[in-house]
């Protein structure tokens, strides 16, 4: 089954063609980073307009690259929630047009479920059940992946997400957007014990997160140094911040795995590209005899291949198709 997949939930326009949920025939991402860089973050209206300009041409190129003809496609899958509403609407409208014109089933895909599915592409032998940390610009969730289509959130952030914390700290330090990537690089040369940032325990849930105190503490530290005219030790701050965020996520994830008896662990979302996170989990999983599944770096951040993978399972395991009245939603929980 060859699925044309579309992703436009934030600031990347992406189209892919995926065979049977696991084999990527073509995957293209048109990044808008350059358009948002000067603002230090994504400007929603600019993002929607960029999607509108890029999506049809990108679909044409992706189809050509796959070697398929449009008549060969079996279905069209699209991210419909959660995300920036103007951005989502562009992808959903385009997918509906394709579905109508080619008479193809339309499959609506939840953005976070698709991040998890990136693991099916990179790890051909991975099957649910497993436990997964989804960490992106807007979300930090620990989920039980019970089947290809059913997930249960057991921990989530009460305020900011891990990626957002990286991005805001980066902006304050004058580090380029998106901050997580650059902080990860700068951290490699820094002393991770140079600064201590607070890691809170969230009341009433062992696996929930709160990043707002950590974010404020880093920002305050940077402001204090600036006020005193002291050069900001960028690499040390980046290394200390990365260590705090990563150990927080690793602790909650491994604790959840222990308590709920999971021996298969995966990570997903933009922040799953973090080199320390990957290294730390590898070390712990090797020591504990747990299997660790990582998405390839190119499938960590937003892409459409993961939408094609999840779309395949929504269709084949859940029979989940949508009508032409499908809408997009800015917010939607996983379960």
Residue 166 binding partner per list ligand KG4, Zn ion, none, with a CB distance cut-off of 5 to 8 Å that depends on partner kind: ligand KG4
Binding part of the chain for Zn ion, among 62-70, 190-198, 248-256, 301-309 by CB under 5 A, reads: 301-309
Task: Please check whether residue 218 is in contact with residue 237, taking contact to mean a CB–CB distance below 8 angstroms.
Answer: yes
Q: How far is the CB of 165 from Zn ion (least distance, A)?
A: 16
Least distance CB 137 / ligand KG4 (angstroms): 3
> Cβ of residue 31: shortest distance to ligand KG4, in angstroms?
10
Q: Which of 164, 184, 302, 314 binds Zn ion (CB under 5 A)?
A: 302
CB of 42 to Zn ion, least distance (A): 12
Compare residues 7 and 235 and give the one whose CB is closer to Zn ion: 7
Name the minimum Å distance from CB 18 to ligand KG4: 18
Binds Zn ion (CB under 5 A): choice among 136, 165, 217, 309 = 136
Q: In whole angstroms, how close is the CB of 232 to Zn ion at the nearest point?
A: 29
When CB distances are held under 5 to 8 angstroms depending on the partner's kind, the choice from Zn ion, ligand KG4, none that residue 209 binds is none
Question: Does the footprint of Zn ion cover residue 274 (CB under 5 A)?
Answer: no
Which of these ranges, 24-32, 90-98, 124-132, 295-303, lies near Zn ion under the rule CB under 5 A? Answer: 295-303
Q: How far is Cα 330 from Cα 159, in angstroms, rounded to an integer?
A: 17
Closest approach, Cβ 135 to ligand KG4, in A, equals: 7
Distance CA(147)–CA(92), nearest Å, equals: 25
Residue among 214 and 271 whose Cβ is closer to ligand KG4? 271
Pick the closer one to ligand KG4 by CB: 141 or 217: 141
Q: Which residues contact 249 (CB under 8 A, 6 or more apart)?
A: 133, 135, 140, 162, 209, 271, 277
Name which of Zn ion, ligand KG4, none residue 184 binds, using a CB cut-off of 5 to 8 Å depending on partner kind.
Answer: ligand KG4
Residue 311 binds which of Zn ion, ligand KG4, none (CB < 5-8 A, kind-dependent): none
From ligand KG4, Zn ion, none, interface partner of 179 (C-beta below 5 to 8 A by class): ligand KG4
Binding positions for ligand KG4, rule: CB under 6 A: 10, 136-138, 163, 166-167, 178-181, 184, 269-271, 273-274, 301-302
114 binds Zn ion (CB under 5 A): no
Q: Measured from the CB atom, is 8 or 254 closer to ligand KG4?
A: 8
Degrees, nearest 5: CA angle 139-141-146: 130
List, in order, residues 6 or more apart from 166 with CB less than 8 Å away: 178, 179, 180, 183, 241, 242, 245, 271
Q: Taking the complex as a whole, how short is the minimal distance between the CB of residue 173 and ligand KG4, in angstroms?
A: 13
Binding site for Zn ion (CB under 5 A): 136, 302
């Amino acid at each position: 089954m060859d699925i044309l997949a579309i992703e436009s939930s934030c600031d990347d326009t992406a189209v892919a063609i995926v065979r049977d949920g696991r084999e990527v025939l073509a995957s293209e991402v048109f990044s808008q980073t350059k358009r948002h860089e000067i603002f230090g973050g994504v400007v929603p209206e600019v993002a929607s307009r960029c999607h509108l300009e890029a999506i049809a041409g990108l679909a044409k190129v992706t189809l050509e690259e796959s070697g398929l003809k449009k008549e060969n496609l079996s279905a069209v899958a699209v991210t419909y929630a959660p995300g920036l509403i103007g951005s989502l609407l562009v992808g959903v409208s385009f997918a509906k047009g394709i579905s109508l014109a080619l008479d193809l089933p339309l499959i609506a895909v939840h953005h976070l479920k698709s991040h998890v599915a990136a693991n099916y592409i990179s790890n051909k032998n991975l099957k649910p059940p497993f436990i997964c940390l989804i960490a992106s610009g807007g979300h930090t969730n620990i989920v039980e992946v019970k089947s290809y289509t059913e997930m249960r959130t057991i921990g989530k952030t009460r305020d900011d997400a891990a990626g957002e914390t990286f991005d805001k700290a980066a902006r304050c330090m004058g580090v380029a957007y998106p901050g997580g990537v650059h902080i990860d690089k700068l951290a490699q040369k820094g002393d991770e014990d140079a600064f201590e940032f607070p890691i809170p325990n969230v009341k009433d849930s062992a696996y929930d997160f709160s990043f707002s105190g950590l974010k404020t503490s880093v920002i305050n530290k940077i402001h204090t140094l600036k006020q005193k005219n002291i050069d900001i030790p960028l690499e040390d701050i980046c290394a200390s911040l990365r260590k705090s965020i990563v150990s927080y996520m690793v602790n909650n994830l491994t604790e959840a795995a222990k308590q709920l008896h999971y021996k298969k662990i995966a990570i997903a979302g933009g922040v799953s590209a973090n080199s320390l996170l990957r290294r730390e989990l590898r070390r712990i999983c090797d020591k504990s005899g747990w299997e660790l599944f990582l998405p390839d770096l190119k499938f960590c951040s937003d892409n459409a291949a993961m939408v094609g993978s999840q779309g395949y399972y929504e269709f084949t395991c859940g029979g989940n198709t949508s009508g032409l009245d499908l809408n997009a939603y800015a917010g939607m929980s996983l379960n």
